Amino acid sequence: MPHENSPLLTCGLSSLLSGLSRDGQEEPLDADGSSGNPSSSSARSLNTFFGVVVPTVLSMFSIVLFLRTGFVIGHAGLFHSLIMLGVAYVIIAMTILSVCAISTNGAIQAGGAYFMISRSLGPEFGGSIGLMFYLANVCGCGVYVLGLVEAILDSYGQEAGSSAAVLPGGYWYGVLYSSVVLLVCMLVCLVGSHLYTRASFLILLVVTVTLLSVIISTLVLGPIPISLNHPGNTPNSTLVYNTSYTGFNLTTLKRNLSPGYTMDYSTGSVMTFASVFAVMFNGCTGIMAGANMSGELKNPSLSIPKGTIIAVAYTFVIYLLLFLLVSSTCDRVLLIEDYGFLRRVNIWPPFVTLGIYCSALSAAMSTLIGASRILHALALDQLFGRLLAPASITTQAGNPWVAVLYTWALVQCVVFAGQLNSITSLVTVFYLLAYAAVDLACLALEWASAPNFRPTFQCFSWHSCLLGIVGSVVMMFVIEPLFSSASIALLLLLLLFIHYRSATSSWGYISQALIFHQVRKYLLMLDVRKEHVKFWRPQVLLMVSNPRSSCQLISFVNQLKKGGLFVLGHVHLGDLDSMASDPVQAQYQHWLSLVDLLEVKAFVDLTLSSSVRQGTQHLLRITGLGGMKPNTLILGFYDNCVPDDYFLQNPVFYGGVGGLNVDLPSLQAHFPPVRNQESAWRLSPEEYVGMIRDAIKMGKNVCLARYFHTLQLLGCGATQLIDVWPLNLLRPESGGFVDVCSLFLLQLACVLNMAAAWRHAHMRIFLCVEPDCQQGAWPGAGWLQKEAELRELLLKLRIRASIQVVTWEVGTTETVVEGGGGGGGGGGGGGGTGRRAATPGGGDVGGGEDGEGGWARTAPRVSRDFLLSVNDMLRENSAQADVRFLYLPRPPAPADQSQAYLAQLEAVTHELGPTLLVHGLTPVTCTEL
């Protein structure tokens, strides 16, 4: 049990404080919050600029900046291009705000976006979305490799028509070149990310110089006529396009303002707003490049938000400037028919060629490294079992080389697409789904109002998160509805797989925080003053002494609750003053595991008390909250019956009981063996009857369950029978079946009949009538009228049941009546002269008992013959029933009458099978709308 001096291991604060106390430096923490090893410590060497700004800028520029800017302006025009750019950057801006909020709310470990989502939303969402984000990076890497090969073939391919055309073209040659480029990227990643980060700054310098050359060229160069050649539609034919670079020209700008979607010469498909946006958005998908390097950053919580915002702002300015320059200087035909037109209009064309190669190669390596880190984090968390287990292997320096090989193999499959434009839609959908998930994580944290969600980055709100989610989802379906639907379906399948496969994690579940927030709100709205009998349902507190012998009863009550509250209560005997700590708290985990194994929808409430009766009083008073409090107490029957051990009968509980996360000896300690004839009683008969009396005084309905350890829970065929005896059998003249208790008993039986396992069961209601003195066993006079009245009542209550008329010749009883209670009625059959037995305790029909408030002072001395006749009648007529509902008389007030009361109940229900004795105080039936 944790206390105020316990180590702060779960929060990662213990190692943090110890590290600060030693040398004033913060130690890096591993995934579970503990201090990392030396190798992991040395791995964290990147600052904000080299670890976040550089890879993010290079990933966002990639091949779109140099090879698809003209494609976007040519097809979409400047107006539509600016709209696309605005929509794309609004989506990524909202996502960046969410990333900044999450990353500044705690320590970020390796795994980047996956780590943030999984630790915010839990393993189900984190694992499924993390895998989708991994696939997005895999496809993105394939796009960058294909773009690089396209640029190489434009310069050195035989179809380019230049003097340096030495590389043969065609689909398989393109795949070969892509494989070679990908192999180079893989070798760099196997050496380690540090080699890439050292070279990335030089690559950024080259790209920056290339951008400056493009901008300077638009200011220096004059008009240039250009002739373009493309293969024709027939063999050995060539299409020639005469176009020009006009320099700054108002006429050129006006022509490029409006859209002009036409056929893409690389794929042969007609472009649309959605397809062009999909290509353009690939230039905005690198915002997570810095977050994916979180395992190598010195201070990821500071570097990720700061570096990402700087990089995104820089790329937005560059894209906006380039869009304006290109649309003002280049003819539309040049933009549409030549993706590498920037080489033709540069003061020194090799600048552009070098920039394209460097940016594409850098983006490919960045996504390959980022994807391998995500896969490595997924493998460490063991969410997908043995399939990804090898990906957790690393070198001594911490490089996940197996994850790199996994990722390389998948990217190799992607490059078989052959053309860049053919897979951009799929890549964009994956990225948009991942961005929507990040926004969802931040939105959930904000709406949950968790006290520990207090990020240092405050420039966000739930409005920004919601806008990012809506924008991402809408654009997904605008771009490619089929891919979007399939990706969401795959996400849901992964979510269900992880939910049912993975064990409970210690990361925390945002769903629990959201449920708590909503439940609290709705509990406050659940006003007990607005309760109505039409909407009554059982809300049960089932007291369980030992779950080994009560599993069948627990499952039965779960079917009886009809969507109401179901609480398993248990009293641990002891005095807290004499104990070092509360022993009850340690038991909750075992009881909750039991609930999971039995698959019942129940809460668990345990208490510590000096007696079972006092503990039951505590639970009756404090269990539940607001309008959800128990209205019915169910107890096991007090008898000498030796129950079966359900743990030894059900295969779920065999062996080590893995579902309870304990071994069998530990389970024996928490749930001891069932009692036997020599076992000591935990409570006396007086205490047991006192519990019944206490519940009635508190206005709770009471049920006593007997023989439920013999209940067969399997099978729900038409042979099942539910028998209901609504008459107080110990006082048959007390009012028939029209009092509150009888109607409550009918309602409970009807509720059970509505449960799925009992839906096909047949309910029988027994009507007891006196025999005719002249006809022997035939019913006496008036029985037809009684049956008609009962049938009319069932019709009004909409209860489908058959009525069984039973003649009952009641034996003589010898009764002592004190205080005028329990009288009335003539003698029964058999010629006896005594009076019929009064109800033990009386008051079941509303009569007072000399100021005792409906409680009898003594239990009547009922003859043994009378009790045996009742038992014989029940066994004769209900022997085939699966469960029986009987009227439970009110117990007597004096404690010294408790044993006599229990003896009467024991005799009546002897060897009946599963029986529920019911005493209802609550009006539960309604005949009106």
Give the tens place of pLDDT for each residue, 207-220. Answer: 999 999 999 998 88
Q: What is the pLDDT of residue 612?
A: 94
Q: What is the pLDDT of residue 30?
A: 40
Question: ∠ at Cα 384 (191, 96), nearest 5°?
Answer: 65
Nearest Cα neighbor of 201 from 47, 332, 312 is 47
Q: What is the pLDDT of residue 667?
A: 58
Q: What is the pLDDT of residue 832?
A: 37
- For the ranges 147-151, 510-514, 709-713, 925-929, the lowest mean pLDDT is seen at 925-929
- For the ranges 581-585, 875-879, 924-928, the lowest mean pLDDT is seen at 924-928
Tens-place pLDDT, residues 450-469: 787 888 888 889 999 999 99
Q: What is the pLDDT of residue 844?
A: 47
pLDDT tops 60 at residue 245: yes
Q: Stretch 157-178: mean pLDDT, rounded?
A: 77
Per-residue pLDDT band for 22 (boundaries 50, 70, 90) equals: very low
Mean pLDDT over the full length of the chain: 80
Q: What is the pLDDT of residue 413?
A: 92
DSSP, collapsed to helix, strand or coil, labels residue 620 as: helix
pLDDT tops 50 at residue 789: yes
Q: Stretch 812-816: mean pLDDT, rounded?
A: 40
Per-residue pLDDT band for 505 (boundaries 50, 70, 90) equals: low
Helices (H), 397-480: 401-414, 424-448, 462-479
584 neighbors 606 (Cβ within 8 angstroms): yes
> For residues 672 and 652, what is the distance between their CA atoms, to the nearest angstrom?
17
Q: Which tops the pLDDT comparison, 808 or 403?
A: 403
pLDDT tops 80 at residue 50: yes
What does the block give as tokens for 88? 């794309």
pLDDT tops 90 at residue 914: yes
Cα→Cα distances 157→264, 349, 481, 698, 755, Å: 19, 17, 36, 91, 73
List Cβ neighbours of 850 (8 Å cut-off, separation of 6 or more): 819, 820, 821, 857
- How far is C-alpha 760 from the chain's CA centre? 33
Lay out the sheet containing 566-573: strands in order across: 603-609, 566-573, 540-543, 632-636, 701-706, 915-919, 883-887, 721-725, 762-769, 802-807
Per-residue pLDDT band for 114 (boundaries 50, 70, 90) equals: confident
Cα→Cα distances 275→59, 281, 478, 831, Å: 21, 10, 9, 98
List Cβ neighbours of 147 (8 Å cut-off, separation of 6 or more): 62, 63, 67, 360, 420
Q: What is the pLDDT of residue 859?
A: 58
Count of residues in the chain: 929
Per-residue pLDDT band for 926 (boundaries 50, 70, 90) equals: low
Q: What is the pLDDT of residue 474?
A: 94
Q: Is 857 exposed, middle or buried (0-12, 13-18, 19+ CB in 10 A)?
A: middle
Nearest Cα neighbor of 746 from 722, 770, 716 is 722
Q: What is the pLDDT of residue 520?
A: 85
What does the block give as tokens for 73? 């302006």
- For the ranges 23-37, 95-109, 208-222, 736-750, the lowest mean pLDDT is seen at 23-37
Q: What is the pLDDT of residue 385?
A: 76
At residue 704, φ and ψ (nearest 5 deg) are -115, 125
Q: What is the pLDDT of residue 567?
A: 95
> For residues 553 and 564, what is the distance between their CA atoms, to the nearest angstrom?
17
> For residues 225 and 631, what is the distance between their CA atoms, to the nearest angstrom?
90
Per-residue pLDDT band for 733 (boundaries 50, 70, 90) equals: low
DSSP, collapsed to helix, strand or coil, labels residue 724 as: strand
Q: Stretch 304-319: mean pLDDT, rounded?
A: 92
Helices (H), 157-192: 171-191
> Which among 25-34, 509-518, 659-668, 786-795 has the top mean pLDDT?
786-795
First to last CA, the chain: 53
Q: What is the pLDDT of residue 326?
A: 94
> For residues 649 and 674, what is the distance between their CA atoms, to the nearest angstrom?
13
> For residues 414 and 406, what is the distance between their CA atoms, to the nearest angstrom?
13
Tens-place pLDDT, residues 559-600: 998 888 999 999 999 988 888 888 898 888 888 888 888 889
Kindly state the percentage of the chain with pLDDT values over 90: 29
What does the block give as tokens for 69? 């800017």
Nearest Cα neighbor of 439 from 220, 554, 287, 337 is 287
Q: Which tops the pLDDT comparison, 365 or 266?
A: 365
β-strands 762-769, 721-725: how paired? Answer: parallel
List Cβ neighbours of 436 (8 Å cut-off, separation of 6 or more): 468, 469, 472, 473, 476
pLDDT tops 50 at residue 442: yes
885 neighbors 749 (Cβ within 8 angstroms): yes
Q: What is the pLDDT of residue 75?
A: 94
What does the block give as tokens for 633? 């107490």
List Cβ neighbours of 101 (8 Å cut-off, separation of 6 or more): 442, 445, 455, 457, 460
Q: Stretch 190-218: mean pLDDT, rounded?
A: 85
Q: What is the pLDDT of residue 303?
A: 86
> For residues 188 and 195, what is the distance between their CA atoms, to the nearest angstrom?
7
- Which letter, b or e, does each residue of 765-804 get, where b requires 16 or more Cβ atoms within 10 Å of its Cβ? bbbbbbbeeeeeeebeeebeebbeebeebbeebebebeeb
3-state helix, strand, coil in the chain (%, to 5): 55, 10, 35
What global pTM score does this model have? 0.69
pLDDT tops 70 at residue 656: no
Q: What is the pLDDT of residue 861?
A: 63
Q: What is the pLDDT of residue 115?
A: 79
Q: Which tops the pLDDT comparison, 917 or 28?
A: 917
Q: Stretch 819-832: mean pLDDT, rounded?
A: 34
What does the block give as tokens for 602? 């129940």
At residue 198, φ and ψ (nearest 5 deg) are -65, -35
Dihedral angle sign, alpha carbons of residues 61, 64, 65, 66: positive
Nearest Cα neighbor of 486 from 132, 124, 134 is 132
Q: What is the pLDDT of residue 829?
A: 35
DSSP, collapsed to helix, strand or coil, labels residue 611 as: coil
- For the ranges 181-195, 316-330, 718-732, 854-868, the lowest mean pLDDT is seen at 854-868
DSSP, collapsed to helix, strand or coil, labels residue 82 as: helix
pLDDT tops 80 at residue 619: yes
Cα→Cα distances 669→140, 590, 666, Å: 56, 11, 5
pLDDT tops 80 at residue 160: no
Q: Is 470 exposed, middle or buried (0-12, 13-18, 19+ CB in 10 A)?
A: middle
